[in-house]
């Protein structure tokens, strides 16, 4: 991935990992456009980074995606990079049955990036050099029982990303998967944002940018903290890792 001279779109760039990446790429001189559902936090993010742009977008709304994608292509014809970062993560008790929660996760985390990607890819294919980056999770490789649909959607995006990379291998579009570990953000509220066991956001962003800078042809961006999850099955440690992680986190959430 080229690190400068991009015009890039980052979904949910007004909080968490998206906001951190937006700031980092903006600091390198890229034209960064962020999206989110909250106008106030979009405005605050842009105010902190003069020159950054913002567009309100609900990635769970198929019609909104089509409208915003068309406007982005018109307003930013040099658009050549997209980071599909938007997502929601809520605990689910499967014994209770929560179809609304499951559908919300699928619409935002899975259909959102697929729909937006479909709307923008014809434009990206016409650029001299382009990048599509999906943001999955270590939970795509070892799921968390407390967050079953979230884990499933991230596993699905991992699969989608691999298929997309193969289909686009002879094009100008580079496909990258960013696989975060448990990071200190507000994805699950104040508890996660202040959890000392989570990786500090600034450390995650710094290591991510270092990987992208040192390895421009990278297909998966894996900070050290996520290696245990990503390679648990390959190392023959999946069952033990799955049980240990889920036992520990289930007990922690109950305490």
| pLDDT tens-place string over residues 235-247 | 999 999 999 999 9
Q: Is residue 246 part of a domain?
A: no
Q: Is residue 248 part of a domain?
A: no
Q: Looking at the 3D structure of the chain, how many domains does it have?
A: 1
Please check the confidence at residue 254 and state whether its pLDDT lies above 80.
no
Q: Kindly give, in sequence order, each residue whose CB lies less than 8 Å from that of residue 47, ignoring residues fewer than 6 positions away.
A: none
Q: Cβ–Cβ contacts within 10 Å for residue 188, how many?
A: 19
Residue 56 lies in a domain: yes
User: Is 87 inside any structural domain?
Assistant: yes
Least confident piece of the model among 64-68, 87-91, 98-102, 110-114: 98-102
The 3-state DSSP class for residue 204 equals helix
Please indicate, yes or no, if residue 238 is contained in any of the structural domains: no
Residue 2 counted as domain residue: no
Question: Residue holding tokens 């066991």?
Answer: 197
Q: What sign does the dihedral 233-238-241-246 (CA atoms) show?
A: positive
Encoding tokens for residue 21? 């990446």
- Separation between Cα atoms, residue 151 and residue 142, nearest integer Å: 8
Token pair of 60, please? Answer: 């769970």
Q: Would you say 151 and 144 are in contact if contact means Cβ atoms under 8 Å apart?
A: yes
Has residue 247 been placed in a domain?
no
User: Which residues participate in catalysis according to the annotation?
Assistant: 150
Mean pLDDT of the chain: 96
Provide the domain limits for residue 68. Answer: 7-226
pLDDT of residue 255: 72
Q: What is the DSSP letter of 9?
A: E
Task: Say if CB 145 and CB 103 are below 8 A apart.
Answer: no
CA–CA gap between residue 124 and residue 161 (Å, rounded): 16
CATH of the domain at 24: 3.40.50.720
User: Model-level pTM greater than 0.85?
Assistant: yes
What pLDDT shows up at residue 155? Answer: 98
């Amino acid at each position: 991935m080229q690190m400068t001279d991009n015009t890039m779109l980052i979904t949910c760039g007004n909080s968490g990992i998206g906001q951190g990446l937006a700031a980092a790429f903006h600091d390198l001189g890229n034209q960064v456009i962020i999206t989110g559902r909250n106008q106030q936090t979009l405005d605050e993010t842009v105010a902190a980074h003069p020159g950054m742009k913002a567009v309100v977008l609900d990635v769970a709304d198929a019609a909104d995606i089509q409208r915003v994608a068309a406007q982005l292509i018109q307003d930013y014809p040099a658009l050549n990079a997209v980071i599909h970062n938007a997502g929601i993560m809520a605990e689910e008790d499967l014994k209770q049955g929560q179809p609304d929660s499951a559908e919300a996760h699928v619409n935002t985390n899975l259909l959102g990036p697929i729909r937006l990607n479909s709307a923008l890819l014809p434009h990206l294919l016409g650029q001299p050099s382009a990048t599509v980056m999906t943001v999955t999770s270590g939970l795509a490789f070892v799921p968390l029982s407390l967050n079953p649909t979230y884990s499933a959607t991230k596993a699905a995006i991992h699969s989608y990303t691999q298929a997309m990379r193969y289909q686009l291998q002879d094009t100008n579009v580079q496909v990258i998967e960013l696989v975060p570990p448990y990071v200190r953000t507000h994805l699950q509220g104040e508890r996660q944002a202040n959890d000392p066991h989570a990786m500090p956001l600034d450390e995650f962003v710094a290591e991510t940018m270092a990987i992208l800078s040192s390895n421009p042809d990278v297909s998966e961006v894996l900070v050290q903290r996520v290696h245990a999850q990503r390679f648990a099955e390959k190392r023959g440690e999946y069952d033990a890792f799955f049980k240990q992680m889920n036992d520990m986190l289930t007990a922690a959430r109950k305490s």
